[in-house]
Amino acid sequence: MTSPNFLLLLLVQTLMIGLRADLPGTWELLVANAGIATMHTAVTRFNTVVLLDRTNIGPTRKMLRPGHCRIDPQDPLLKRDCYAHSALFDPATGLIRPLMILTDTWCSSGQFLPDGTLLQTGGDRDGVKKIRKFIPCEKTSFCDWEELEEVELAQGRWYSTNQILPDGSVIIVGGRATASVEFFPSRHGGGAVNFPFLAEAEDTQMDNLYPYVHLLPNGHLFVFANNRAVLYDYTNNKVLKQYPKLDGGPRNYPSAGSSAMLALRGDHSSATIVVCGGAQFGAFIERNTDTPAHGSCGRIEATELNAVWEMEDMPFGRIMGDMVLLPTGDVLIINGAEAGTQGFEMASQPCLYPLLYRPDEPVGLRFMTLNPGSVPRMYHSTANLLPDGRILIAGSNPHYFYKFEAEFPTELRIEAFSPEYLLAEKANIRPTILELPEKINYGGGFDVVVTTELPVVGIIEVNIASAPFATHSFSQGQRLVKLAVSSAVPDAVGSYRISCMAPPDGRVAPPGYYMVFAVNTGVPSVAKWVKLL
């Protein structure tokens, strides 16, 4: 039966149809049937996208390669499973190639390593201690998941968070009933290290899962769980600072807010963290799908001595929103719902309107409402920045298994949202990168050559963006760094040379592959990949 709240939402959307043409942004359907519902997504340096779901959900709508089946006597539904639960998607062609995953990746975590390998850790059941690797390859080659047999996690990790560190290793933080951290490659003799803050942040409905972890340019971690945050020295396992509590209720899973660290700029010494949205405490315990989400955001200068939260409100209450750093430094908030919590069949009132958060505007003017989509993106949705500047939108399965006859069915469509900077009328100021080194060194200078149709007015920015692992309303390892640049100097007819300075060290930008965007008057180029080392 269709809920009254959903009918009311449809009525409101109908009334808004006439206004949509005036709202920025456009939508396009990339794939009508991806074959799997996507719980986790990550963009590789070959411009492909890893799609990943659970393994113990029964048949998907995508078969594995002939002769390849997963044999698991413990699987509750399929002892011999010939269906794909992961795939590699090429946005340029729409092609989807099945990948073979053996252990359960439900509510797992991930991060790219410096060599471009996607590290994937934990999950449920047989995957809870598992470490997996996906080594991306050229589109004409074949690559698949590798499940490591000789090493495993020291503790089971379900709903944990990964963050790459300045030396290229990865810290794995928390998880359900796991108030500890550990590292890949392993440290401390291969064991986990107790992190009491996570236990202190737990409440009767948890709210400390998928903690928000941001690497600050001072080399320490900003770790947020529930409504609390600390400055964490992971090298010495020491909490250096406790930040003030953030008002407005719990923000982490299952209360479903989101967080991003704003673009690092200037001398890269300061960092600003934003945490937006969340559910009312108690909604998860009571399984109340109609409890309104809150729309408050907290913003804090995490590197300041006496940092305090600055509060502001979004136009909508929102849970399960994804925060995506755009090449310009603005933040897109997309997906989610206006009532309930995270969890299977625990939310209602899909929030179809994306928001643009403009950090440089004053409080009260930072949020812009964008053109709404038409596909509800509820629990287990994802959003990722693509190298061409679009945002890939995938997933939404608020059911334990695949269920297509429901108010909010399992969603197999993949879409792209194009921010206003991709409008056709801005094409003549969109730069194209002609020359860029394949590798850049910390603290070193390098040149970028770009071309535009119209003469350059002002400074062309050169910004580098990481490729995060997106899951459960948080993009693990997401980062945007605005580089120090010179004014664009004419290099040839219609082209310009820009002198750039690479980040000073791995605290500002950990080693690995980054998308490089040239941004002219707020309009980004198509990115090229560079290896920072």
Query: What one-character-per-residue DSSP string does 115-155 give?
Result: TS-EEEE--SGGGTT-EEEE----TTS---EEE-SS---SS
Could you tell me what percentage of the chain is helix, strand and coil, using 3-state DSSP and rounding each to the nearest 5?
10, 40, 55
Contacts with 307 (C-beta within 8 Å, 6 or more apart), sequence order: 243, 244, 300, 301
d(CA 485, CA 497) in angstroms, rounded, equals: 10
Residue 445 three-state SS: strand
**pTM attached to this predicted model:** 0.94
pLDDT the model gives residue 68: 93
Longest dimension (CA), the chain: 66
Report pLDDT for 14. 47
Query: According to the model, what pLDDT value does residue 494 have?
Result: 81
Which residues fall within 8 angstroms of residue 270, CB to CB, at 6 or more apart?
A: 217, 301, 303, 304
Angstrom distance (rounded) from CA 438 to CA 273: 31
pLDDT in tens, the chain (533 residues): 444 444 444 444 444 444 555 899 999 999 999 999 999 999 999 999 999 999 989 999 999 999 999 999 988 889 999 999 999 999 999 999 999 999 999 999 999 999 999 999 999 999 999 999 999 999 889 999 999 999 999 999 999 999 999 999 999 999 999 999 999 999 978 899 999 999 999 999 999 999 999 999 999 999 999 999 999 999 999 999 999 999 999 999 999 899 999 999 999 999 999 999 999 999 999 999 999 999 999 999 999 999 999 999 999 999 999 999 999 999 999 999 999 999 999 999 999 999 999 999 999 999 999 999 999 999 999 999 999 999 999 999 999 999 999 999 999 999 999 999 999 999 999 999 999 999 999 999 999 999 999 988 889 999 999 999 999 999 999 999 999 999 999 987 789 999 999 999 999 999 999 999 999 999 999 999 999 99
Per DSSP, what are the bridge partners of residue 228?
225
3 state SS of 6: helix
Residue 356 makes CB contacts below 8 A (sequence gap 6+) with: 24, 330, 331, 332, 333, 367, 368, 370, 419
